[in-house]
Chains A and B, each alone.
Chain A
Amino acid sequence: MSLLEIRAAGIWCAAGDFYLDPWAPVDRAIITHAHSDRARPGSRAYLTVREGERLLRAQVGPDAAIQTVEYAEVLSLGAARVSLHPAGHLPGSAQVRIEHGGEVWVFSGDYQLAPDATCTPFEPVRCHTFVTEATFALPVFHWPEAAETIAAIEAWWRANQEAGRLSVLYAEAPGPAQRVLAALDRCIGPIGAHPGIEQFNRIYRGQGIELGRLADHPTLLIAPPGTARAANASTAMVSGWMRIRGTRRRRALDRGFVLSGHADWPALLRAIDETGAATVWATHRHGAALARWLEENGRRAAALETRFGEGEA
């Protein structure tokens, strides 16, 4: 790597003297989005997109020094020109574009290409080198249309309701939980949210993102994965991992619904294509597989060992 290099605290840009989603406290951190594997407390100064400021504050603490920018606004940091571009993963989630000495690098953060009413849609950014996530970088991971998944959730919920059963839907927050809340049809019945979800709902609502009504006596409860089960409830989970039967069965869930804030295999390949990048670095568990595939298909690529993806469902 040249514009970026790996140091003990994370990925560092020498030209601009900043870190990208560092995993230890640093002087200046650019944060792609407010998930705990990306936004860790303790750094002296943070930079993020305005839309993501409140979510970031919930992660790194009320007193953290957070500077914000608009999408595509260009900053000069040291000798580097830096701008943030929509990644479609969370409100304020961004890809980081870094330009220096005629070279353009894009650091993707987590991203997702399909429509999501709760955040600004992904935009491809042309570059020479693309550092991409690879959470679901295997061809067995291809997602159904989100609308299809939402319809399946609604059918399951309706059937439970007819059987007099509570539906408990596990979803990560912030992100998938709010995406589902915003999409579900309130005509079917009352929906409730576990406090672990509601704490983020407040932030979403506070910045004008519509999530729909919530009720005190719901027939569908959205809850964080791992929260206790109620008796006589049907349990399900939304996640990309639900694509695999074994993960659903290991968690002893009744149903698994495939919906993810991450790009599936076809979307990853499309996104990489659209950057026009000659060189690709792939992070996460399946980074090596993605890199090998790209190499075999005429790109320079390598896997990059990071601490992203830790603790993900």
Chain B
Amino acid sequence: MKLFADLYAALDETTRTNDKVAALERYFSAAPPEDAAWAVSFLIGRRPKRLLESRKLAEWAIEEAGVPDWLFGECFNAVGDFAETIALLLPPPQSSTRLPLHYWIEERLLPMRDAGDDTRHAWLLEAWRAMDERQRFAWNKLITGEFRVGVSQNLVVRALAAWAPSGHGVPAETIAHRLMGEWQPAAEFWEQLMAPEQKSAEISRPYPFFLAYPLEGEIEELGAIGEWQVEWKWDGIRAQLIRRGGRTFLWSRGEDLITDRFPELAALGAELPEGTAIDGEVLPWKDGAPLPFAQMQRRIGRKILGNRILAEVPVVLVGFDLLEAGGTDVRERPLEWRRAKLERIAPNPTLVLSPVVTAASWEELKQRQEESRARKVEGFMLKRRGSPYRVGRRRGDWWKWKIQPYSVDAVLIYAEPGHGRRASLFTDYTFGIWDNGALVPFAKAYSGLSDEEIREVDAFVRRNTIGKHGPVHAVKPELVFELAFEGIQRSSRHRSGIAVRFPRMARWRHDKRADEADSIETIRALL
């Protein structure tokens, strides 16, 4: 546990990629395989769900620390992080644990889910009394389901590849591939992960997704348009449909197996040739065009998919790449080769081939980008002809070129404290727009401001609160922000009658007074 807590602290302490990789390599060299497997699983974001309600945890921590409730509250306000507050408050440890990470996870943390309160309490005290502050912090984060660490999966993969026992290097792509799909963190998995070659790949395992960066700079800098294959950027659920061993697997980019959620695509899989993997986007689709994504959310929200919703919101796979053909990994083949092969797969109403957009010049392409909103797409994907299918987020061969988001100027009307490390600041805002001389709530936004600006807004809220409803402070309507958002539609659930997708603060309009903010009419015009 100490090694893992030290790793967590080391990753937290630096923003330098090389330092992070070095810390990971140090850890992998020192940790036993059972621990390393758990560490990898946590580092790539497969953290356990919350195992204990915060209220219980607080109650037991308060008792162990011997402080009154109100003082715990004061401490939490000052620290802004629940797991950290407890780690700092507890009395110094009585012993120092030499027990490894996998013991704490397998024998204490996971069994807590099914244990009674007395046992949980006893285990928690056992852990706290044996752990130093760093270990307690990591442990508390794991228990509260808040364990997060500033490393990307790519970085973990890179460190694993760099560390792989000398004599038999394992390519990063292989490691990334092995980390996908379902696996149990255990010594055997670790051995398989680092093994020079893998004989029996799990048949369900997807390929790591190739992800595009947003276009940087001007489109013309990409060179001749003829070197690029252009497609619409679909706004659905990125997924991989796999047919192997007579079975079908649909994987989301978040590495969830979602085959059951989309019976249409399970059926599509059954018609694919054995040994096929298609990369694409799952979209709600009717009459040859996508439905608004909100329709999809209606469907995703349901536990049971009745015939009615299946008929109202049918889905298709908009396929754009082929990663496996005839049981062979074809990712190294050039884009055109894979595309041609994909086009030859038998036509099926639930498999839509993502059309290639043709334009003679970048200028013409810019014009065509204006069709995006009408087509319910987010803009273009640009893919370099001749390029292989790469692993993870990479610059160079794929770019996403999104249309500019919508934007409006709105007035800050409510604020409430954030969560985690932002809990001591007002960071969650509600914005209003003018409707007949009154401000009606229009959207909530949490992101887009710098820390400096957040502090300024926080100070403003504290000085200008005009009413309180629980944690929500109504503030004097003075500050104007430009909000950017991606989609807009009518909604009976919102007081403004309008719902927007992904609202965020694009900038603080210090130059505008509240009465200069936008009105509901301006916004209706965007519909």
Tell me whether A254 and B14 are in contact in the complex, defined as CB-CB below 8 angstroms, given that A139-B89, A246-B421, A296-B68 are known contacts: yes
Question: Residues of B contacting A252 with CB < 8 Å?
Answer: 15
The answer to the question of B451 belonging to the interface, with a C-beta cut-off of 8 Å to chain A, is: yes
Of A140, A286, A293, the residue contacting B88 (CB under 8 A) is: A140
Chain A residues 28 to 46 lying within 8 A of chain B, measured CB to CB, are: none
Complex alpha-carbon distance, A243 and B85, angstroms? 11
Whether B75 pairs with A139 at a CB distance below 8 angstroms is yes
Question: Residues of A contacting B12 with CB < 8 Å?
Answer: 245
Complex alpha-carbon distance, A292 and B75, angstroms? 14
Of A138, A250, A255, A293, the residue contacting B78 (CB under 8 A) is: A138
Tell me whether A140 and B79 are in contact in the complex, defined as CB-CB below 8 angstroms, given that A243-B88, A245-B84 are known contacts: yes
| B338: min CB distance to chain A, Å | 42
Complex alpha-carbon distance, A77 and B379, angstroms? 79
Whether B421 pairs with A140 at a CB distance below 8 angstroms is no
Binary flags per residue of B251-290, CB closer than 8 Å to A gives 1, else 0 = 0000000000000000000000000000000000000000
Complex alpha-carbon distance, A246 and B425, angstroms? 11
Whether B68 pairs with A138 at a CB distance below 8 angstroms is no
Who on chain A is nearest to B85 by CB?
Answer: A140
Known: A140-B79, A254-B13. 19 other contacts (CB 8 A): A138-B74, A138-B78, A139-B65, A139-B67, A139-B71, A139-B89, A244-B78, A244-B79, A244-B84, A245-B421, A246-B79, A246-B80, A246-B81, A246-B84, A249-B421, A254-B14, A286-B74, A289-B71, A293-B71
Whether B89 pairs with A245 at a CB distance below 8 angstroms is no
Question: Residues of B contacting A293 with CB < 8 Å?
Answer: 71
Binary flags per residue of A246-268, CB closer than 8 Å to B gives 1, else 0 = 10011010110000000000000
| B421: min CB distance to chain A, Å | 4
Complex alpha-carbon distance, A313 and B39, angstroms? 36
| A253: min CB distance to chain B, Å | 9
Complex alpha-carbon distance, A246 and B67, angstroms? 22
Whether B65 pairs with A245 at a CB distance below 8 angstroms is no
Question: Residues of B contacting A244 with CB < 8 Å?
Answer: 78-80, 84, 88
Q: List A residues at the B interface (Cβ < 8 Å).
A: 138-140, 243-246, 249-250, 252, 254-255, 286, 289, 292-293, 296
Question: Residues of A contacting B89 with CB < 8 Å?
Answer: 139-140
Of B15, B70, B74, B421, the residue contacting A254 (CB under 8 A) is: B15
6 contacts between A and B (CB under 8 A): A138-B71, A140-B79, A243-B88, A245-B84, A250-B451, A286-B78
Interface hub of A138, A286, A293 (most chain B Cβ within 10 A):
A138
Tell me whether A140 and B81 are in contact in the complex, defined as CB-CB below 8 angstroms, given that A245-B421, A252-B15, A254-B14 are known contacts: no
Binary flags per residue of B405-421, CB closer than 8 Å to A gives 1, else 0 = 00000000000000001
Complex alpha-carbon distance, A73 and B85, angstroms? 44
Question: Residues of A contacting B68 with CB < 8 Å?
Answer: 296
Question: Residues of B contacting A245 with CB < 8 Å?
Answer: 12, 81, 84, 421
Question: Residues of A contacting B14 with CB < 8 Å?
Answer: 254
Question: Residues of A contacting B424 with CB < 8 Å?
Answer: 246
Complex alpha-carbon distance, A244 and B421, angstroms? 10
| A252: min CB distance to chain B, Å | 7
| B16: min CB distance to chain A, Å | 8
Binary flags per residue of B437-466, CB closer than 8 Å to A gives 1, else 0 = 000000000000001000000000000000
The A/B interface has a contact count, at CB < 8 Å, of 46
Question: Residues of B contacting A289 with CB < 8 Å?
Answer: 71, 74
Complex alpha-carbon distance, A266 and B71, angstroms? 15
| B11: min CB distance to chain A, Å | 12
Question: Residues of A contacting B13 with CB < 8 Å?
Answer: 254-255
Complex alpha-carbon distance, A116 and B80, angstroms? 31
Who on chain A is nearest to B451 by CB?
Answer: A250
Interface hub of A139, A249, A252, A254 (most chain B Cβ within 10 A):
A139
| B245: min CB distance to chain A, Å | 47
Question: Residues of B contacting A255 with CB < 8 Å?
Answer: 13
Question: Residues of A contacting B80 with CB < 8 Å?
Answer: 244, 246
| B32: min CB distance to chain A, Å | 26
Whether A140 pairs with B15 at a CB distance below 8 angstroms is no
Question: Residues of A contacting B67 with CB < 8 Å?
Answer: 139
Who on chain B is nearest to A296 by CB?
Answer: B68
Chain B residues 47 to 102 lying within 8 A of chain A, measured CB to CB, are: 65, 67-68, 70-71, 74-75, 78-81, 84-85, 88-89
Whether B75 pairs with A140 at a CB distance below 8 angstroms is yes
Complex alpha-carbon distance, A293 and B84, angstroms? 22
Question: Residues of A contacting B70 with CB < 8 Å?
Answer: 292
| A135: min CB distance to chain B, Å | 12
Question: Residues of A contacting B74 with CB < 8 Å?
Answer: 138, 286, 289
| A266: min CB distance to chain B, Å | 11
Complex alpha-carbon distance, A249 and B14, angstroms? 10
Question: Residues of B contacting A249 with CB < 8 Å?
Answer: 421
Who on chain A is nearest to B423 by CB?
Answer: A246
Interface hub of B68, B88, B451 (most chain A Cβ within 10 A):
B88
Question: Residues of B contacting A246 with CB < 8 Å?
Answer: 79-81, 84, 421, 424
Question: Residues of B contacting A139 with CB < 8 Å?
Answer: 65, 67, 71, 75, 89
| B72: min CB distance to chain A, Å | 9
| B434: min CB distance to chain A, Å | 35
Complex alpha-carbon distance, A243 and B71, angstroms? 17
Chain B residues 1 to 47 lying within 8 A of chain A, measured CB to CB, are: 12-15
Complex alpha-carbon distance, A53 and B350, angstroms? 85
Tell me whether A138 and B81 are in contact in the complex, defined as CB-CB below 8 angstroms, given that A250-B451, A292-B70, A296-B68 are known contacts: no
Who on chain A is nearest to B137 by CB?
Answer: A245
| B175: min CB distance to chain A, Å | 26
Who on chain A is nearest to B83 by CB?
Answer: A245
| B85: min CB distance to chain A, Å | 6
**3 nearest interchain CB pairs?**
A140-B88, A246-B421, A140-B75
Who on chain B is nearest to A246 by CB?
Answer: B421
Complex alpha-carbon distance, A244 and B451, angstroms? 17
Question: Residues of A contacting B451 with CB < 8 Å?
Answer: 250
Who on chain A is nearest to B22 by CB?
Answer: A163
| B21: min CB distance to chain A, Å | 13
Who on chain A is nearest to B73 by CB?
Answer: A289
| A152: min CB distance to chain B, Å | 11
Who on chain B is nearest to A255 by CB?
Answer: B13
Who on chain B is nearest to A137 by CB?
Answer: B74
Complex alpha-carbon distance, A300 and B38, angstroms? 52
Whether B421 pairs with A138 at a CB distance below 8 angstroms is no
Complex alpha-carbon distance, A243 and B84, angstroms? 10
Complex alpha-carbon distance, A261 and B380, angstroms? 58
Who on chain A is nearest to B84 by CB?
Answer: A245
Question: Residues of A contacting B421 with CB < 8 Å?
Answer: 245-246, 249
| B51: min CB distance to chain A, Å | 22
Who on chain A is nearest to B14 by CB?
Answer: A254
Complex alpha-carbon distance, A140 and B85, angstroms? 7
Complex alpha-carbon distance, A138 and B67, angstroms? 10
| A205: min CB distance to chain B, Å | 34
Interface hub of A140, A255, A293, A296 (most chain B Cβ within 10 A):
A140
